[in-house]
Structure 1
Amino acid sequence: MKVTSTWGMSLAATKLRPPLPPGQLVRRSRLDDILDAGVEGQARLVLVSAPAGSGKSTLLASWLAGRPEAVAWLQAEESDSDPARFWSYLVEAIGQARPFAAGDVKSAVVGSNGDDLVVVSALVNELADAAEPLVVAIDDYHLIDNGSVQRGMERLIDLCPRQVTIVLSTRIDPPFRLGRLRVRGQIAEIRGADLRFDADEASGLLGSAVRSLDRARLDQLCGRTEGWAAGLVLAGLSLERAADPGEFVEAFRGDDQLVVEYLRDEFFAAVDADDRRRLLETSILEQLSGALVDSVTGATGGAKWLLDTAGTNQLLIGLDRTRTWFRYHHLLRDLLRLEAHQTFPERIPGLHARAAEWYESQGDHGQAIVHRLAGGEARQAARLLLVHGPRLLAGGQTETLRGFLDQLGDVAKTVTWCALLYGWCEYVGGRYSRAQEWLDTLVEVAPEGFDHTPAISLRMNISLARGDVTTALGTARQVTATEHLMSHSCDLATATGAAYAWAGQAGEARQALRFAAEKAAAERFPTAHVLSLVYQAIVEFDDGSPASAQTAASTAVDTAQNFGLAAYHGVAPAYAIRARTGGDPVRAHADASQALSLARRASTDLALGFVLTACGDTLIGLGDTAGAPLLAEARSVLARCPDPGVAGRYLARTESRHGLAEAGGGSGRAAVLIEQLTDRELAVLRYLPASMSQRDIASELYVSLNTVKTHCRSIYRKLGVGDRKAAIQAARDLHLL
């Protein structure tokens, strides 16, 4: 988790420690016993599930303060539904609680964009190495609504070592298979009914406010609120001021449906105008500090006001031991926001603008964007994305970035860097056609003299993802004809090397990929580093050197494992190559299985077709009948590619070698020109990589369609291939293209 200032670090830290206990803390030993039994009985999950305002956070914070184990605490927020953001925070929380190789796991988070399989595997491996007990607590887990995060958390619960206990506080049950945990005795649960305050506990919670109540009235108050903590606290705010406490208890309704009316009739009537104004104005904030309160309200004394308010109102919760940061209880915050929108709706945008200015002055562009968008200032938010967008991409938080871009609406279609960021989001999400559309939008809105270099890497990646090696190769050649590789980030060198690798241009690929690996290591970009090594393995394999390919593939896999990226789908070709070039049948089977598992998860058609071919080739060689169907699948996958490059050639020769299909070319790598092409055939050949039909080529050359068909048949024969795609790759090998 990157921070840009001392303030940014202190704010982030408020998510990573339990809230401070309220002034009237009630020790609830009957509930502590349930929680203790869960940890000491080595339950995998301790679940505290109850409605808002039930006292879940306070219970857990006070209980954990008395436990001997190290505690990792994460206060979840809605924005944490982005997988990369969620796992980054959780890894940071665990790292603060107990020293471990958090940096390696963070690299896995960022490099995989928060892929649940990659991250959980890396995290469990690190947790397994430590013997000391650890409690990992996540508060407000109901705010997480991402399926990938949910799958990852359930997997973490299943795989965590016995010394680790996961504790979740939530308003609704998570979508886990809880029944299975119950049958196995691996879960401890506290429900809403368990959290209801009885009369003795309510007396401790309300303190001096209940001195005027006898036991019967106290029992009646608990009945009115059904033991609901928030209802009791709200009652306590007015009870001491009530002229007739008994009459107040008789009239009070503590259920959440009537709290709004109560706040209007009782709570707001009891605070002076200045306090009411500050409460409503600051309700737009998720967290509050004195300086931020002053900036938003235009007043002074915010720090003292927060301390005074927290001293009398348990619904303002302290977040750090220095009493600098606070937050409203979710119920109070929501109700204050409702009242603010009804009282002064026209002022809300201005309050958000003040908050945005303060956050921006502190270097927190993320929160500044949130408030710019909330205040309707889309163009100001777009301006901030010029700086913050690349940071989100680099941190793997593409879902957060896409959320911001979606909120910009039509503004995103008029700003170059927003179009580029949108393109990257679509590419990472596997929506390549839409990514290309955003690149086209960038070209349309770019002003004269705009530097398109930052878009080149995305352009090549989209071409390769769509299986269009011809277009990617053309872009790569433009890049290496300039100094762009030296002056831009490692992702450009990696994409350039990948284009040369898939095109079978070994010399150019090696040069670009060696540089990419060095640059990625210097820039601490683990994904690009691993991918550059994977592509080097593809180059060595295609160049016909099994020993070199085995070494390169092993290096790629080992490096991925060191970075915690062994389960990253981009490593699949390296596993496949290691399987095909290895001498141990058992290991070859294992590597092929791993390659197939990873490649099927998120690989492009080009990589998936290559992996299917290599694994099919390996399994057939081992006498496994599962190999032939893999080659058939590879054929259908690569058929979708306009130009599959060396992957298509490898498949054709593999099918031919195993007698599974008629295919041009022998089993060796080098293409052989059986007969020299004529000038007219060379002219037709140069059009084959383009996405033009034979009729289009005929029109372009001012010849008949039959003439082009005749030339194509002659070209295929002289190159020793059977179709257009194979002819393109053979021509590249012979430097005819």
Structure 2
Amino acid sequence: MPKKTRPSASLAKITRPQPEHVLARTRLLQRLDRARQIVWVVAPPGAGKTTLVADHIGRRKRACLWYQIDEDDADIAAFFHYLGLAVKKAAPRKRRPLPHLTPEYRAGLTTFTRRYFQELYSRLKPPFTLVFDNYQEVAADAGLHEVLRDGLDGLPAGGHVVVLSRSAPPPAFARFLASGAMEILDWDALKLTLEEFSSVARLRWQGRLPAEMLQQLYARTQGWAAGLVLMLERTEDSRPQAALDSTPEAIFDYFAGEVFDKTTRPGRFCFRRRFCRCSGSKPSRSSPGSTRLRAFYPT
């Protein structure tokens, strides 16, 4: 059995986010409508992965099982336990709980996994979507990759799976790509277009920003949604130009906490380049995140 977790933490792990005042990204919503059974969404932090998929499910009113992966899922028994809670939340009328992975099942984990997922699928009314968020939390050598591969092998017609990650699919998922069952929605697709960028900026600013300024902000952020929001949040209402004049310390701290602390060294280089384009500068030594960031900036 998994270690005890606060009920509120367990609920958050299996609850679909419900973002408010979200711009309808029609081109991506339609792409998800046409997508293959399995979609791997891979992009850096703040690209809008979770918001997009949660918004798509809400707008299409699809049955959904949302599962947020964290360090507890390194224990396969804990994964099945929390997944069972997610199924119960998604299909509350089904009173019989899904089985726990007890020691007697360990020798036949593949068989247990396939039967477990068959029962899971039978409890959800098509069309339904399973979402596994924060998949980058799964270690490269974790057994969860093979467990999910075996479980998704039996995905029925009308069932869809979306995996949200900062990393590319692991080797265990190669068969889905090879067979055409899975497609990848990457950063190039998720980046805001200039039109989307302008709509988000005006929505956040609650007014009209000059077209020239929007173009400069777009060039600065490279379509990165979180970069735009962070720059505008620290801008005084009377001085929208301030978003271009300086880079908010919040962006330094965001990169320090969300990117550099949680990303492998090759990934840090990629994100660092994006950060430099967005900020146009290096972090000041007074920034709370500057100590961590300076480790990756040559002086």
TM-score, structure 1 normalization = 0.32
Q: Which residue of 2 aligns with 1:325?
A: none
CA contact (8 A) 1:34 1:188 kept: no
CA contact (8 A) 1:139 1:170 kept: yes
Show structure 1 runs of 5+ residues with no match.
265-337, 343-737
Q: Which residue of 2 aligns with 1:231?
A: 227
1:570-598 deviation line (CA, Å, top 9, x unaligned): xxxxxxxxxxxxxxxxxxxxxxxxxxxxx
Alignment partner for residue 166 of structure 2, among 154, 171, 193? 171
How far residue 37 of structure 1 moved from its aligned partner, in angstroms, is: 1.2
1:186-335 maps to which residues of 2 (within 5 A)? 186-206=181-201, 207-209=203-205, 211=207, 213-241=209-237, 243=239, 245-246=240-241, 248-249=243-244, 251-252=246-247, 259-260=251-252
CA contact (8 A) 2:81 2:100 kept: no
1:149-548 maps to which residues of 2 (within 5 A)? 149-176=144-171, 178=173, 180-206=175-201, 207-209=203-205, 211=207, 213-241=209-237, 243=239, 245-246=240-241, 248-249=243-244, 251-252=246-247, 259-260=251-252, 339=288
User: Whole-Å Cα distance in 1 between the matches of residues 195 and 136 of structure 2?
Assistant: 30
User: Whole-Å Cα distance in 1 between the matches of residues 17 and 107 of structure 2?
Assistant: 27
Alignment partner for residue 91 of structure 1, among 81, 84, 96? 84
User: Whole-Å Cα distance in 2 between the matches of residues 168 and 250 of structure 1?
Assistant: 38
How far residue 86 of structure 1 moved from its aligned partner, in angstroms, is: 1.6
Q: Which residue of 2 aligns with 1:33?
A: 30
Q: Which residue of 2 aligns with 1:50?
A: 43
Q: Which residue of 2 aligns with 1:9?
A: 7
CA contact (8 A) 1:109 1:115 kept: no
How has the CA–CA distance of structure 1 residues 249 and 122 changed in structure 2, closer, same or farther, with 3 Å as cutoff?
same
CA contact (8 A) 2:88 2:94 kept: yes
1:621-659 deviation line (CA, Å, top 9, x unaligned): xxxxxxxxxxxxxxxxxxxxxxxxxxxxxxxxxxxxxxx
CA contact (8 A) 2:204 2:229 kept: no
CA contact (8 A) 1:81 1:143 kept: no
CA contact (8 A) 2:253 2:289 kept: no
Q: Could you say what secondary structure the match of 1:72 adopts?
A: strand
1:486-635 maps to which residues of 2 (within 5 A)? none
User: Whole-Å Cα distance in 2 between the matches of residues 259 and 68 of structure 1?
Assistant: 34
Q: Which residue of 2 aligns with 1:66?
A: 59
Q: Which residue of 1 aligns with 2:273?
A: none
Task: Give the number of the structure whose residues are more often helix, by fraction.
Answer: 1
User: Whole-Å Cα distance in 1 between the matches of residues 173 and 148 of structure 2?
Assistant: 13
1:703-732 deviation line (CA, Å, top 9, x unaligned): xxxxxxxxxxxxxxxxxxxxxxxxxxxxxx
CA contact (8 A) 1:210 1:218 kept: no
How has the CA–CA distance of structure 1 residues 20 and 131 changed in structure 2, closer, same or farther, with 3 Å as cutoff?
closer
CA contact (8 A) 2:176 2:182 kept: yes
How far residue 149 of structure 1 moved from its aligned partner, in angstroms, is: 0.7
User: Whole-Å Cα distance in 2 between the matches of residues 2 and 262 of structure 1?
Assistant: 32
How far residue 178 of structure 1 moved from its aligned partner, in angstroms, is: 4.9
1:127-151 deviation line (CA, Å, top 9, x unaligned): 4645731211111011012521110
User: Whole-Å Cα distance in 2 between the matches of residues 46 and 187 of structure 1?
Assistant: 6
User: Whole-Å Cα distance in 2 between the matches of residues 240 and 135 of structure 1?
Assistant: 41
**How big is the alpha-carbon RMSD for the aligned residues of Structure 1 and Structure 2?**
3.4
Q: Which residue of 2 aligns with 1:138?
A: 132
Q: Which residue of 1 aligns with 2:282?
A: none
Q: Could you say what secondary structure the match of 2:28 adopts?
A: helix
Q: Could you say what secondary structure the match of 1:107 adopts?
A: coil
User: Whole-Å Cα distance in 1 between the matches of residues 138 and 173 of structure 2?
Assistant: 17
- Report the structure number with the largest CA radius of gyration: 1
Q: Could you say what secondary structure the match of 1:27 adopts?
A: coil
User: Whole-Å Cα distance in 2 between the matches of residues 263 and 121 of structure 1?
Assistant: 39
Q: Could you say what secondary structure the match of 2:131 adopts?
A: strand
How has the CA–CA distance of structure 1 residues 241 and 52 changed in structure 2, closer, same or farther, with 3 Å as cutoff?
same
How far residue 70 of structure 1 moved from its aligned partner, in angstroms, is: 1.5
User: Whole-Å Cα distance in 2 between the matches of residues 246 and 137 of structure 1?
Assistant: 39
The structure whose RCO (Cα within 8 Å, separation 6+) is larger is 2
Q: Could you say what secondary structure the match of 2:114 adopts?
A: helix
Q: Could you say what secondary structure the match of 2:65 adopts?
A: strand
How far residue 179 of structure 1 moved from its aligned partner, in angstroms, is: 5.0
How far residue 192 of structure 1 moved from its aligned partner, in angstroms, is: 0.7
| Counterpart residue type for residue 61 of structure 1 | A
CA contact (8 A) 1:50 1:192 kept: yes
User: Whole-Å Cα distance in 1 between the matches of residues 183 and 228 of structure 2?
Assistant: 27
TM-score, structure 2 normalization = 0.73
CA contact (8 A) 2:64 2:129 kept: yes
User: Whole-Å Cα distance in 2 between the matches of residues 131 and 241 of structure 1?
Assistant: 47
Q: Percent identity?
A: 26
How has the CA–CA distance of structure 1 residues 242 and 224 changed in structure 2, closer, same or farther, with 3 Å as cutoff?
farther
| Counterpart residue type for residue 132 of structure 2 | I
Task: Give the number of the structure whose residues are more often strand, by fraction.
Answer: 2
How has the CA–CA distance of structure 1 residues 128 and 195 changed in structure 2, closer, same or farther, with 3 Å as cutoff?
closer
Aligned residue pair count: 257
Alignment partner for residue 100 of structure 2, among 99, 102, 107? 107
Q: Could you say what secondary structure the match of 2:183 adopts?
A: strand
User: Whole-Å Cα distance in 2 between the matches of residues 204 and 90 of structure 1?
Assistant: 37
How far residue 220 of structure 1 moved from its aligned partner, in angstroms, is: 1.5
1:246-280 deviation line (CA, Å, top 9, x unaligned): 353254499xxx9317999xxxxxxxxxxxxxxxx
CA contact (8 A) 2:74 2:144 kept: yes
| Counterpart residue type for residue 172 of structure 1 | S
1:333-379 deviation line (CA, Å, top 9, x unaligned): xxxxx93997xxxxxxxxxxxxxxxxxxxxxxxxxxxxxxxxxxxxx
Q: Could you say what secondary structure the match of 1:66 adopts?
A: helix
CA contact (8 A) 2:213 2:241 kept: yes
